[in-house]
Chain A
Amino acid sequence: MTQLVYDGSFEGLLTSIFELYERKIGDARVVRNGSYQSELTASYLEIIPDQKKAERVWNGLKQKLSVDKRNEIYQCFLSELPEMEGTLVTFIRHVFDSKHSVEKDYSNKSVLAIEQIAHKVYREKHRMEAFVRFQRTTDDLYIASIDPDFNVLPLIISHFQERYADQHWLIYDNRRNYGIHYSKDTFSVQEVRMEWEAIAHHEFLPASTCHEEELVYQSLWKNYFQTINIQARNNHKLHIRHVPVRYWKYLTEKRTS
């Protein structure tokens, strides 16, 4: 068996698939850099991401798959799940090796698997669009930090860019240590990285960096959230299903202090 080790980028993954075909490697495993473990019985091939090769694979997929299905491939990639590469390789091979379109063949395992992973990622994207809570700073930046299960930040940019076109904002992924900054002057976004110490454990801004009305609005929102609950209908199970506990730390309304 051959292990193809790539750098964890989408381009790298597509390049790996290119090499599978180019070198006619049948028995293979594609693994990320970090999760590579040497195996005695496997030979090792390091993959250098190559834009041209990646594009050829992507263009090949364009011939065979709808936009939606291609988006699912990308979403699946963003899941960062351990089985992600295996599932994608099996699926893409199935696509290239079939004469007819297979994307709706739900009796095939890999077709279903892709859709299911993509669906999980989509749900996390949707959750982030819902659960991001901006805090306004003294210099009028609306800032939010997130810690999503999957790497969904790239998927939510356009939503926030359109919605908050007239305010400066920054959404920062604490776990993956990068963020997206939007400027209302240029209407454009930029990827940013902060010094780790500066942002770690600061889900909520210290009062000194908050805009003068920020804490008031946080408290108005918290009270509102409490008031609109109807005690006679309490249903904790349902509540937890919709707002899993791991998201509470970012939600202003759930903040205890």
Chain B
Amino acid sequence: MYMWDRIQEKLQILSDAAKYDVSCSSSGSKRSNDSKGLGHTTGAGICHSYTEDGRCVSLLKILLTNYCIYDCAYCVSRRSNDVKRVGFTVKEAVELTINFYRRNYIEGLFLSSGIFKNSDYTMERLVRVAKTLRTEYRFNGYIHLKTIPGCSEDLVKQAALYADRLSVNIELPSENSLKALAPEKNKTDIIRPMSYLSNSIEAYADEKKVIKSTPAFAPAGQSTQMVVGASPENDLQVMTIADALYKKYKLRRVYYSGYVPVSNDSRLPQLGTPVPMIRENRLYQADWLMRFYKFSLREIVDPAHPQLDLDIDPKLSWALRNLHLFPIDINHADYEMILRVPGIGVQSALRIIQGRRYSKLGWDQLKQMGIAVSRAKHFIVCTSKDHPRDINEAALRQRILRQSKYAATLTPQLSIF
């Protein structure tokens, strides 16, 4: 029993330390189980549970160890913090993953680590866990490995051959903040593996088109995370970095993590400062608009509007700033423009395009298709005659804000401020 108590304790400490990394995605990769071994990865990913803070639990998210030679101010595992230090052996990490997976608790493993000894030594251990899972246990579930900043390219390459996704965190939205809060890290150590991976992923993908037997190389690509609210950058700065990362390094995802105070360091928001959850949420919505709604960065934030509006979502915010483009005729407008109407999502837009081929659409049909007509009606015309009158930005904003459903979802979060 003693052994299990030790494992219990390690799991507690090492999952507690890992939980501030918000990524839990298990999507973007397909692995079949042709060899009748264990596991498969379907591409869409599955959330097996949700914590009481409402976040998806998809992966076993742990550090291999919380020993760390660095002293990043925002991190619980920082060298100067007085916490108990433990570490899993490779075998322990592997057994936990397998046994959780077999019970259908998880989609796979997200393994990160404090830096012990040096970057290469740490990375080598992470790779060994992934390798053991894939080769000895014939595991086809999802593996996300953290790339340790400053580790060698050869280790990054090996990691990519076993893992589905790799990530190296940008950590903070400016080099100055990085210097101030994570003095031992530097931009180059973070960007270099990112750039190497981006090039290699592309090269492997190209080769695979010609040579089928080319091995999978980080098939779910790479992601990164930025902590927001720990340092003074505005949303324009945050989104500018995200935009550059998407374009330059073809990242699959940029995660925004509202800073959760973990220390009384005077460089940081004090303990008890609320987590900027609405801001975080707005950043995700803005990010979504860039990736799926074909919005450009400048349409969402610009020097005149450097912060996202906390009261309303960025799509509505854009529409209100651009009322001269509306209303659009839902029966004739093209897909891109329909997508930009507040209250219409991707699925509804597709339905409109398909449905209007059969008959022209009015409010009733639009409602049936699941469109939030109470919001969209201010921005569109259809066959129905009763359209809201022209109205100015301020009045429209007030009217939409008052709509009960919307206010209801916002208040519980707002009340914490």
Task: Indicate if A217 sits at the interface (CB-CB under 8 A).
Answer: yes
Instruction: Report the bound CA distance from A144 to B103 in whole Å.
Output: 9
Task: Indicate if A24 sits at the interface (CB-CB under 8 A).
Answer: no
Given contacts A105-B355, A134-B104, A224-B15, whether A239 and B54 have CB atoms under 8 Å apart is yes
Interchain nearest-CB distance for B301 vs A (Å): 25
Q: Is the CB of B260 within 8 A of A233?
A: yes
Instruction: Report the bound CA distance from A241 to B409 in whole Å.
Output: 12
Given contacts A106-B354, A136-B103, whether A230 and B53 have CB atoms under 8 Å apart is yes
Q: Is the CB of B358 within 8 A of A105?
A: yes
Task: Indicate if B51 sits at the interface (CB-CB under 8 A).
Answer: yes
Interchain nearest-CB distance for A73 vs B (Å): 19
Residues of chain A within 8 A of B258, CB atoms compared: 233
Task: Indicate if B52 sits at the interface (CB-CB under 8 A).
Answer: yes
Q: Which residue in A129, A162, A242 is a CB contact (below 8 Å) of B50?
A: A242
Task: Indicate if B214 sits at the interface (CB-CB under 8 A).
Answer: no
CB-CB nearest 10 A-B residue pairs? A238-B54, A106-B355, A233-B53, A242-B50, A235-B54, A229-B51, A165-B36, A105-B358, A104-B354, A228-B19
Residue of B nearest to A217 (CB): B99
How many residues on the A side are at the interface (Cβ–Cβ under 8 A)?
56
Residues of chain A within 8 A of B265, CB atoms compared: none
Task: Indicate if B359 sits at the interface (CB-CB under 8 A).
Answer: yes
Q: Is the CB of B103 within 8 A of A134?
A: yes
Residues of chain A within 8 A of B260, CB atoms compared: 230, 232-233
Annotate A92-110 by CB proximity to B: 1 below 8 A, 0 otherwise. Answer: 0000000000101111110
Q: Name the segment of B41-49, B188-196, B288-296, B307-315 touching the other chain.
A: B41-49
Task: Indicate if B369 sits at the interface (CB-CB under 8 A).
Answer: yes
Task: Indicate if A203 sits at the interface (CB-CB under 8 A).
Answer: no
Instruction: Report the bound CA distance from A217 to B388 in whole Å.
Output: 59
Q: Name the segment of B5-13, B65-73, B241-249, B319-327 touching the other chain.
A: B5-13
Q: Is the CB of B50 within 8 A of A220?
A: no
Instruction: Report the bound CA distance from A187 to B34 in whole Å.
Output: 12
Q: Is the CB of A220 within 8 A of B51?
A: no
Where the two chains meet, the residues of A that have a C-beta atom closer than 8 Å to any C-beta of B are 102, 104-109, 112, 126, 129-136, 142, 144, 159, 162-167, 184, 187, 213, 216-217, 219-221, 223-225, 227-239, 241-243, 251-253
Q: Is the CB of A221 within 8 A of B103?
A: yes
Annotate B1-25 by CB proximity to A: 1 below 8 A, 0 otherwise. Answer: 0001001100110011011100000
21 A-B Cβ contacts within 8 A?
Answer: A129-B46, A131-B49, A136-B102, A142-B102, A165-B38, A166-B37, A217-B103, A220-B100, A221-B105, A225-B57, A227-B12, A230-B55, A230-B260, A231-B53, A234-B52, A235-B53, A235-B412, A235-B413, A242-B54, A243-B50, A253-B49
Q: Is the CB of A229 within 8 A of B105?
A: no
Instruction: Report the bound CA distance from A167 to B104 in whole Å.
Output: 12
Interchain nearest-CB distance for A231 vs B (Å): 8
Residues of chain B within 8 A of A239, CB atoms compared: 50-54
Interchain nearest-CB distance for A29 vs B (Å): 24
Residue of B nearest to A112 (CB): B368
Residues of chain A within 8 A of B105, CB atoms compared: 133, 221, 252-253
Residues of chain B within 8 A of A220, CB atoms compared: 7-8, 11, 96, 100
